[in-house]
Amino acid sequence: MNLKEEARYWKEQIDFSKVWAPGLLILAGIVLMISATALFLELAEDVWEQEKFTFDHVIMDYFQSIESGTLTNMLRLLTETGSVWWITAASIFTVLFLWLKKRDVLGVVFFILSIGGGGLFIFGLKYFFQRERPTMAPEYDGNGYSFPSGHALGSFILYGFIIYLIGREKRFFKTRMLAIGLLATLVILVGVSRVYLQVHYPSDILAGYAVGLIWLICCIFSMEMMKVYRDKDKRAHLSNLIYHRK
C-alpha cells in the first residue's frame, strides 16, 4: 500500500465529523450560555435599580405608531402560542410522542424537567423583581409582574427543545430545516406580540429569552451526557458478554 492509498484508507476509517462536531457544539453552547448570562445580569441589575431602558420606549412607541386592527388580531392569536394553556397542551403532546413513538425515556424526563424548571424560574424571578407591566391586560394574559416574560421564556424552551429533537433526526433534511426555521420565527413573533400588545417591555422579552436559553442548554447538555454514559455502559456490558462467551 503506497502513501496515497494509506491516507485514503485512514480518511475513510476516521469520521472527523464525529470527532470535531461534539466539541464544537459544546464550545458553542458554553459561549451562548456565557453571553445569555451576561445579558440577563445586565438587564436584571438595571431593573433592580429601577433604571429606564431607552430602547424599551423607542420600540414600544414604534409599535404604537403601526398599530392596526388586523395586526392586533393576528398578534393576539400568535401570543397564545406562548400561553400557559398552549405550552401545557403542546408539552403533553410532545411527551406522548417521545414516549409512545420514540421510546425515549431520557427525552421525556428532560423535556418535563425543562418545561417544569422554566415555570419555576419564571415564578421565582417575577416575584423577586416585581416589575410592573406597562399595561395590565387580562385578555392578553397580561397579569402579574412583568420581568422576565413568561411567554418569551416558555416559548423559547418549548420550541427550542422541539428544534433540538428535530435537529437530531437523520432524514428529510430540507423538511427539518423548514420546520426549524418556522419554529424559530414563532419564538421571535411571540416576543414581538407581547411588546406590540403593550403587556411587556422589550427588556422583559430579552430577559425571558436569556433565561430560557441558559436553562435549555443545561437540560440538553445534561441529557446528552447521560446518553453518553448510558451508551458506554451498554458497550461495556456487550463486550463482557462477548468475552465470557469466548
- Tell me the three state secondary structure of residue 172: coil
Global pTM reads 0.84
How many domains does the chain fold into? 1
Which one is predicted more confidently, 10 or 191?
191
Q: How do residues 3-42 score in pLDDT, each as one tens digit?
A: 555 555 545 444 444 555 566 778 888 999 999 999 999 9
Q: How far is CA 214 from CA 77, 207, 209, 211, 238, in A?
A: 27, 11, 9, 5, 36
Do residues 129 and 147 touch, judged by C-beta distance below 8 A? yes
- Statement: residue 103 has pLDDT above 90: no
Label residues 82-96 b or e (16+ Cβ within 10 Å = b).
Answer: bbeebbeebbeebbe
Q: What is the pLDDT of residue 79?
A: 94
Mean pLDDT for the chain overall:
86
Q: Is residue 189 part of a domain?
A: yes
Question: Which among 12, 223, 215 has a CA at the least distance from the CA of 98?
Answer: 223
In this structure, is residue 123 part of a structural domain? yes
| Residue 61 placed within a domain | yes
Query: What average pLDDT does range 36-56 have in this prediction?
Result: 93
Please tell me the predicted confidence (pLDDT) of residue 231: 64
Q: Is residue 74 part of a domain?
A: yes
Q: Is residue 4 part of a domain?
A: no
Q: Between residues 52 and 194, which one has the greater pLDDT? A: 194
Indicate whether 32 belongs to any domain.
yes
Q: Is residue 125 very low, low, confident or very high in pLDDT (cuts 50, 70, 90)? A: very high
Is residue 55 domain-resident?
yes
- Domain of 192, in residue numbers: 24-245
Question: In the predicted model, is pLDDT for residue 179 greater than 50?
Answer: yes
